[in-house]
Amino acid sequence: MTRKIEAKPQGAVESRSFFQEAWIRFRRHPLARLGGGVLLVLYLGALFADFLAPYPETKSFRDLTFSPPTVIHWRDDNGRLTRPYICAVERKRNLETFKLEFVQNCSEKYVINFFVQGEPYKFLGFIPANLRLMGGDWLQNEQAYLFLWGSDDFGRDLWGRIWYGARVSLTVGIFATALALLIGVFMGSLSGFFAGKPLTLSVGLFNPAYRKFLSSSPLPNLLKTLGWLALWGGLAWLIWVTVSGFLATSRGLEAVVFGVVGIGLLLAIGYAILFPVIKIDLDTVIMRATEVLAAIPDLFLLITLSVLIPQGIPPAMRFYLVICILSFVNWGGLARVMRGQILQLREMEYAQAAQAMGASDGRVITRHILPGTFTFLIVNVTLAIPGFILAESGLSFIGLGIQDPASSWGLLLNKAQAQGITAFVDRPWMLIPGLFIFAAILCFNFMGDGLRDALDPRAKR
């Protein structure tokens, strides 16, 4: 035991935090970069929707429904390149095919001006502004109409509405994920921490264990007792009200059955108050709840819940309700993965080591267990967002989500099939919102993949 103790120096190690390294890996991931870039453009578009759109969100031209994209002319009559201009359009019925056709009348050229004063709006909802990307006096005087990507069933500019709709479609995912995350993380953590540790729900008052329970810490446990009693009492009252309601309207065998069931339940509650020690395993309760949720098909659940949204409420309100519904349907998955993570991290030696150094339970949880779930949650959230975007689109598509005159990609896509599937052929531009949904979801998935690769603990050398 006389040899000198030495540790081999390990070469210069740069000190980068785990997240710095992950960021470097993320930036090297080509698809993730692409996804991130496209999403950035989409989000900026949503932010500056008022600027990009020539018309306000709900501005409609009733006699220009389903007008095709406005032709932009780059050459003048002599074939020379000029500033882009458009012509006025008239809607006429073709007397041979009996279809409505839009006919250009290029006697007057309306030059598209950029960065012009347009219809005033409020940037971010409170900053008054009127700068718009494209326009001209003719646009405000309605001499000609600029429908870059055509118009919808109310003659509203699709290009503009796609950007307005992006506000809903791109944020619904984030808000719904955030809410689902909140519920999921909360439930999952409860589940994970209490797995295998049933909570005492009540101790029967006449149970020998009750005296011990009360004497261990009298005041809080007395309060707890009152809590249970209130709970049990409330339950008994509910049963009483229900059963007496049923009894009032039924007779014969039915009445006997209800009476017996009611009395049986009340007796059971009485027994529960007086004798047994009742423990519940929060873990089991929560996990079974998620299973029940998972067992009901999502779309069915979504439709059922959307029926609960009252008609005629303001669009913003509707938007938030849709978010609540979406997250309610989807918290289960996040709760399950969160539970799994916690169960795994709870057994990590560093959690035990921290405890062995004298850290309290709360400290171990907040400092050593929860941060370990972050990387995992980030990835999960990115991969969950597209699901919510799709779900919102689906809801709006079947007419249960966002409703006119508000705009969302799903709702816009819905218009494409408004007059039968064959209408696609006549107005293909109505499918553009679908492309946006597709692109956004693909990009979120790319980013999720990139994040997963970047944050994967196994990639940690």
Partner 1 sequence: MDDKRLLEVKDLKVHFFTDDGVVKAVDGVSFHIDKGETLAVVGESGSGKSVTSLAIMRLIPNPPGRIVGGEILFRGKDGQVKDLAKQDEASMRKIRGNDIAMIFQEPMTSLNPVYTVGDQIAEAIVLHQGKSKKEALELSAEMLDLVGIPEPRKRLSNYPHQMSGGMRQRVMIAMALSCNPSLLIADEPTTALDVTIQAQILELMYKLQEEIGMSILFITHNLGVVAEMADRVVVMYAGRAVEEADVTPTFKRPKHPYTMGLLNSVPRLDLAAEHQQRLEAIPGNVPNPLRLPSGCAFHPRCKYFQAGRCDTDIPLLQDTGGGHMVRCVRWAEIQAEQGVTA
Residues near partner 1 (CB under 8 A)? 1, 3, 5-7, 9-10, 13, 15, 17-18, 196-197, 348-350, 352-360, 367-368, 371-372, 457, 460-461
- Find the shortest distance in angstroms from Cβ 456 to partner 1: 12
- Find the shortest distance in angstroms from Cβ 375 to partner 1: 9
* Exposure class string for 17-47: b at 16+ Cβ within 10 A, else e: eeeebbeebbeebeebeebbebbeebbebbb
In the complex with partner 1, which residue's Cβ is closer, 15 or 249?
15
Nearest to 399 by CA among 301, 306, 305, 297: 306
In the complex with partner 1, which residue's Cβ is closer, 59 or 367?
367
In the complex with partner 1, which residue's Cβ is closer, 80 or 458?
458
In the complex with partner 1, which residue's Cβ is closer, 5 or 425?
5
Give the C-alpha distances (Å, rounded to integers) separating 288 from 19, 93, 185, 333, 383.
35, 61, 16, 12, 24
- Find the shortest distance in angstroms from Cβ 367 to partner 1: 8
Q: Strand 73-75's sheet: what is its strand order?
A: 73-75, 81-93, 100-111
In the complex with partner 1, which residue's Cβ is closer, 242 or 352?
352
Whether the Cβ atoms of residue 373 and residue 338 lie closer than 8 Å to each other: yes
- Find the shortest distance in angstroms from Cβ 372 to partner 1: 6
In the complex with partner 1, which residue's Cβ is closer, 23 or 154?
23
- Find the shortest distance in angstroms from Cβ 439 to partner 1: 35
- Find the shortest distance in angstroms from Cβ 384 to partner 1: 23
In the complex with partner 1, which residue's Cβ is closer, 2 or 311?
2
- Find the shortest distance in angstroms from Cβ 174 to partner 1: 25
* Continuous H helices in 48-157: 49-52, 137-140
Q: Is the dihedral of CA 373, 374, 375, 380 positive or negative?
A: positive
Q: How crowded is residue 48: how many other Cβ atoms within 10 Å of its Cβ?
A: 16
In the complex with partner 1, which residue's Cβ is closer, 339 or 368?
368
- Find the shortest distance in angstroms from Cβ 356 to partner 1: 4
The amino acid at residue 326 is L
Q: Could you give the CA distance from residue 423 to residue 428 in angstroms, rounded to a whole number?
A: 8
Q: Could you give the CA distance from residue 45 to residue 21 in angstroms, rounded to a whole number?
A: 30
Q: How crowded is residue 87: how many other Cβ atoms within 10 Å of its Cβ?
A: 18
In the complex with partner 1, which residue's Cβ is closer, 231 or 353?
353
- Find the shortest distance in angstroms from Cβ 124 to partner 1: 36
Q: How crowded is residue 69: how many other Cβ atoms within 10 Å of its Cβ?
A: 17
Strand residues in 218-297 grouped as ranges (E): 277-280
DSSP per residue over 188-204, as a string? HHHHHHHTT-PEEEEE-
Whether the Cβ atoms of residue 70 and residue 147 lie closer than 8 Å to each other: yes
